[in-house]
Chain A
Amino acid sequence: MLFGLCWALLAAPTELFQGVPQRIMYVHVPSVIAAYTALLVVFVASVVYLWRRDSNWDRVAQASAELGVLFISMTLASGAIWGKPVWGTWWTWDARLTTTLILWFIYVAYLIVRAWAPGPRGARAAAVIGIVGVLDIPLIHWSALLLRTLHPQPTVFRAAGPALPGSMLVPLVIGIGAFLAVYAVLMVLRTRQERTLQILAESLEGS
């Protein structure tokens, strides 16, 4: 991550129109990719949990939802900071920004349900939110393509291939890889913690 960060800040070229603030892209894009990955994991784990009622999958969904909220928060914050020098405003009720904010609210609601309704009932309700919430991701993606928005169209994940030059694409790909690696490590740690907590809670109740 540090290697990617140094490359993004020191070696990557400065964009002609936006200038230095464009370097925020090296945090903004990796954080949104990590958020989408985390929420897709929530979706898969929630479907499997509702199908098999195996609490291991519930723990995976919970850990991934927490990380998803962390990464969407990063995306929204870095986007707002990028928007100020480039668009002249921190926030605008643009289709892409609004649908991303809705995604954040959905998964914050997921975490609130987890906190307020522990046990299988809360897990089932959260799983439904986790499945429904992921439907917002295609809306976010298509909002920049179908509607008139301030947010630029995709420059990396598009049918015709990335529109970025190699000197910008390489540090961006390193950043995406680093964010996904951090997601994977935190996911393993958090899932293990939740498993240990459950075993300990059962032992303390039983003794």
Chain B
Amino acid sequence: MAYVSAAYLLAALLFLAYVLSLRSRQRMISDMIEALRQREGRA
């Protein structure tokens, strides 16, 4: 059962890593939108 648990856990961790990378890119997008808003506010 240890091997089965390890395989399922590893698959879950890989999915999690990908979802976290998506979240981090989403944060970058939010930062860029904020930067654009600030530029427009100054102009």
Contacts and interface: CB of A to CB of B under 8 A. Distances in A.
Given A73-B14, A74-B14, A207-B36, A82 B29 contact: no
A39 to B, nearest CB: 16
Contacts of B40: 207
Contacts of A163: none
A156 interface: no
A5 interface: yes
Interface residues of B, number: 24
Interface string B25-43: 1101100110110011001
A189 interface: yes
- Secondary structure at chain A's binding surface: helix, strand, loop or mixed? helix
Given A74-B14, A190-B22, A200 B33 contact: yes
B33 to A, nearest CB: 7
A82 B15 contact: no
Contacts of A84: 3
Interface residues of A, number: 32
Nearest to B42: A207
Contacts of B10: 74, 77-78, 81
A115 interface: no
Contacts of B26: 193
A67 B14 CA distance: 11
Interface string A53-95: 0000000000000110010011001100110110000000000
A52 B39 CA distance: 35
A82 B4 CA distance: 8
Interface of B: 1, 3-4, 6-8, 10-11, 14-15, 18-19, 22, 25-26, 28-29, 32-33, 35-36, 39-40, 43
Interface of A: 5, 9, 20-21, 23-24, 27-28, 31, 66-67, 70, 73-74, 77-78, 81-82, 84-85, 182, 186, 189-190, 193, 196-197, 200-201, 203-204, 207
11 contacts: A23-B4, A66-B18, A73-B14, A74-B14, A78-B10, A81-B10, A190-B22, A193-B29, A197-B25, A200-B32, A203-B36
